[in-house]
Chain A
Amino acid sequence: MTEEEMVQRFKAYLSDQMPDAMNIKVDSVRSIVGGASRQTFSMKLNITHRDSEILKRVILRREFETGIIDTKVRTEWDAYRAFFNTTVPVPELLWIEEDPKWMGTPFFVMEEIVGCQDFFRLFLEPPYNAVREKVGERFCEIMGTIATTDPAAVGLEGKLNKPAPDECWRRELDYWEADINKDELEPHPVLRAAIRWLRRNHPPPAQNVGIVHGDMRGGNFMFTIDGEIKAILDWEMMHMGDPLEDLAWSLNRLFSWEDHDRLGLMLPRERAIRIWEDVSGFRADPDVLLWWEIFSSVKGMAIWISMKEVYAAGKNSNTVICFGGMFASDLQGRILLEQMREVS
């Protein structure tokens, strides 16, 4: 969907939602590049409604017609609503619409967090390298907090399927292996060897079954030049599972390509793990964490393979999708090989 088409459709939606609105203006629109799961637009709203003026920058996220990852905007919406006004910072929600008549696919709108950055490679250079450890510490604290949040206390009870502790690893591995089986364009002998290894060496039952963000990594949070984290984003893969899943994903070497020993190019690995352990109260057993880190590479490969598949099949001709899939699968493949040589 083009920016122009989105604006027209969104204005029509707002008019329907706010029949009393006198004036609905949508401008300063720009597409946000890079998302594999949603088409994302940033824009400025200016609405006169019942003698008050709504003036704010917002983010609209709509599902792709052909999703790379099978996720619903409702999952994201539930996550943001659950954590709003808690110690896990998230943006304020505005509207959700699951009827495709408005935008072609379901979408939701939230406030835009302004004055921040999300590109984690900025931690390699001034001025952000000066605050990267501060950001990293806060990131690990937040990740530990998410892991210990009681779903019932934040309104998520009944909204997420809760596996038994000994089913967490299998459910995730089955899901992503099926995804690979469905989308693989060519054989991947290293990836297949890794999946077999994961099944032969599966971890013990999860020490707790809790909320897993599902994509907790650099690039999915907003940080300031002062080293504060203003929002945790991209909750579309939220689910219940083993808390080590998020920790391992955040340690994925793909997100710290230039410095594998630093979580997300921010914090030395061991310190990051210690903070997560202190805040969550859970233990990151090295062998179990290793299992989840190899799983993270498999999950990553599954996503990058799906990106290539939707492009190759003509379902999504976005250059970012093609480039991202090729780029990430090359690097993730190298990481996975390295990991497998360490264990086999």
Chain B
Amino acid sequence: MRPQAAQILRTTATTLITQYLPGIEKDHEETDLGLSALLMMVVSEEFERAAHRRIEENHALRRIFAGSLSVIEDKDLRRRVEKASEKTEDNYHMSALDKLNCELQEVLIELHTHIEALEGEGARNINEAIWRELENWTKRREFMIWEMAFAMLTKAATRDEGV
């Protein structure tokens, strides 16, 4: 698709903010339109990375699962983690990637809960590996657009008062 979807969303959002927003008089309508435009930018940001972040994360989670098998003491959990470590992407539609990603995250939560209760260096290493991955997990979901939102809301608040 050309122009690419992310570009269309960004351009349309910019048009709304620069051309239409200044002409709106009612506060709540201005906020509604402004936030709608910002949401388009958020979607644009997500559109670009959506597949990548899920596939990258699935790889990372499978690596953790495979590396933790020798440490897991609960047989049922070990079997589920092993099964999860073998799951691969065979459908690249976003809904399918998202479903697999959520399944793996649920297994990660179970694994993390189990590992936290274990003693020993092996468990500590896995726990630290999980936390490093949770740092990446958080980073992958960050949006860059919020600073613009802060500025817009501050401007609206000061304009209300005529400062």
Residues of the A chain whose Cβ atoms lie less than 8 Å from the Cβ of B113: 192, 196
Interchain CB contact under 8 A, B38 and A30: no
- Identity of the chain B residue whose Cβ is nearest the Cβ of A120 in the assembled complex: B157
A31-B28, A331-B146 in contact; A192/B109 too (CB < 8 A)? yes
Contact with B along A305-320 (1 / 0, CB 8 A): 0000000000000011
Task: Assess whether A189 is interfacial by the CB under 8 Å rule.
Answer: yes
Interchain CB contact under 8 A, B157 and A33: no
Interchain CB contact under 8 A, A327 and B149: yes
A187-B106, A190-B134 in contact; A333/B141 too (CB < 8 A)? yes
Interchain CB contact under 8 A, A337 and B154: no
Contacting A330 at CB < 8 Å: which of B131, B146, B161?
A: B146
Residues of the B chain whose Cβ atoms lie less than 8 Å from the Cβ of A320: 31-32, 35
- Identity of the chain A residue whose Cβ is nearest the Cβ of B61 in the assembled complex: A189
- Identity of the chain A residue whose Cβ is nearest the Cβ of B105 in the assembled complex: A187
A119-B157, A122-B158, A186-B102 in contact; A33/B31 too (CB < 8 A)? yes
Contact with B along A151-195 (1 / 0, CB 8 A): 000000000000000000000000000000000001101101100
Residues of the B chain whose Cβ atoms lie less than 8 Å from the Cβ of A322: 35, 39
Task: Assess whether B15 is interfacial by the CB under 8 Å rule.
Answer: no
Residues of the B chain whose Cβ atoms lie less than 8 Å from the Cβ of A341: 131, 135
Task: Assess whether B1 is interfacial by the CB under 8 Å rule.
Answer: no
Task: Assess whether A117 is interfacial by the CB under 8 Å rule.
Answer: yes
Task: Assess whether B142 is interfacial by the CB under 8 Å rule.
Answer: yes
A196-B113, A333-B138 in contact; A33/B28 too (CB < 8 A)? yes
The distance in angstroms between the C-alpha atoms of A333 and B134, with both chains bound, is: 11
The distance in angstroms between the C-alpha atoms of A186 and B95, with both chains bound, is: 13
- Identity of the chain B residue whose Cβ is nearest the Cβ of A323 in the assembled complex: B35
Interchain CB contact under 8 A, B39 and A323: yes
Beta-carbon contacts under 8 Å, A18-40 to B: 30-33
Contacting B102 at CB < 8 Å: which of A117, A187, A196, A334?
A: A187
Residues of the A chain whose Cβ atoms lie less than 8 Å from the Cβ of B134: 189-190, 193, 337, 340
Interchain CB contact under 8 A, B109 and A189: yes
Candidate in A33, A117, A124, A340 with the most chain B CB atoms within 10 angstroms: A33
Interchain CB contact under 8 A, A337 and B150: no
Residues of the A chain whose Cβ atoms lie less than 8 Å from the Cβ of B137: 189-190
Task: Assess whether A87 is interfacial by the CB under 8 Å rule.
Answer: no
Interchain CB contact under 8 A, A334 and B138: yes
Residues of the A chain whose Cβ atoms lie less than 8 Å from the Cβ of B149: 323, 327
- Identity of the chain B residue whose Cβ is nearest the Cβ of A200 in the assembled complex: B116
Residues of the A chain whose Cβ atoms lie less than 8 Å from the Cβ of B130: 189
Contacting B38 at CB < 8 Å: which of A31, A196, A323?
A: A323
The distance in angstroms between the C-alpha atoms of A319 and B142, with both chains bound, is: 20
Residues of the B chain whose Cβ atoms lie less than 8 Å from the Cβ of A117: 157, 161
Interchain CB contact under 8 A, A319 and B105: no
The distance in angstroms between the C-alpha atoms of A31 and B31, with both chains bound, is: 11
Interchain CB contact under 8 A, B28 and A127: no
Closest Cβ of chain A to B40, distance in Å, is 11
Contact with A along B102-128 (1 / 0, CB 8 A): 100110110011001000000000010
Residues of the A chain whose Cβ atoms lie less than 8 Å from the Cβ of B116: 193, 196
Residues of the A chain whose Cβ atoms lie less than 8 Å from the Cβ of B161: 117
Task: Assess whether B60 is interfacial by the CB under 8 Å rule.
Answer: no
The distance in angstroms between the C-alpha atoms of A319 and B157, with both chains bound, is: 18
Q: List 18 A-B contacts (CB under 8 A).
A: A30-B26, A30-B27, A117-B157, A121-B154, A122-B154, A122-B158, A186-B105, A187-B108, A189-B112, A192-B112, A192-B113, A319-B36, A319-B39, A322-B35, A327-B143, A327-B149, A330-B141, A330-B143
The 5 closest A-B pairs by CB, nearest first: A187-B105, A119-B157, A31-B28, A323-B35, A33-B31
Interface residues of A (CB under 8 A from B): 30-33, 117, 119, 121-122, 124-125, 127, 186-187, 189-190, 192-193, 196, 257, 319-320, 322-323, 326-327, 330-331, 333-334, 337, 340-341, 344
Interface residues of B (CB under 8 A from A): 26-28, 31-32, 35-36, 38-39, 42, 102, 105-106, 108-109, 112-113, 116, 127, 130-131, 134-135, 137-138, 141-143, 146, 149-150, 153-154, 157-158, 161, 163
